[in-house]
Amino acid sequence: MKETIKDLSKSTVVSIGMAMAIFCLVGIVFDIGYKGNFCLENYRFTKMVIGCALVGLGFGVPTIVYRKESLPMPIRVLIHMGIGCVIYTIVAYAVGWIGGSATIGQGIIIAAIQLAVAFLIWSLFMRYYRAEAKKMNDKIQAMK
């Protein structure tokens, strides 16, 4: 149980940190794109930061599903990414990352890009953890 809480805490902190880092980088891009006139009013920045933390939780907490060995990997990925992407989409509409002045077509393109980024990050983490598992297995085999 302690190990599960430790893993969950680590995943949550890492995912919130990544969400905040991406938020800051995208903010810089928008600030440059608007030539320094990027303006947020009515606590919009605060709402976006809170939304960013919620997105981090939405992708971090469901990683607990990877500890359930009895579920096939595609189901675990579907649960993890499904929960994360649904939370992301709700938060994105709520804080204005998607919607507003965008047309339906632009909203779909924005959502597709954001989902692609989520799956890219997931695939990078999966690649890292598979490489770590391979290293450990190789060390175990070398000890025999």
62-78 as b/e, with b when 16 or more CB fall inside 10 Å?
bbbebeeeeeeeeebbe
Domain boundaries, position 65 = 2-118
Q: Which residues contact 80 (CB under 8 A, 6 or more apart)?
A: 59, 62, 63, 65, 66, 122
Q: Is residue 139 part of a domain?
A: no
Q: Count helices and strands (H / E) in the chain.
A: 4, 0
Q: Is residue 66 part of a domain?
A: yes
Which pLDDT belongs to residue 5? 87
Q: Is residue 125 part of a domain?
A: no
Q: Is residue 123 part of a domain?
A: no
Can you give the pTM of this predicted structure? 0.77
Higher-pLDDT residue of 140 and 107 is 140
Number of domains the chain is built from: 1
Query: How far is residue 89's CA from residue 110's CA, in Å, rounded to a whole number?
Result: 11
Q: Is residue 143 part of a domain?
A: no
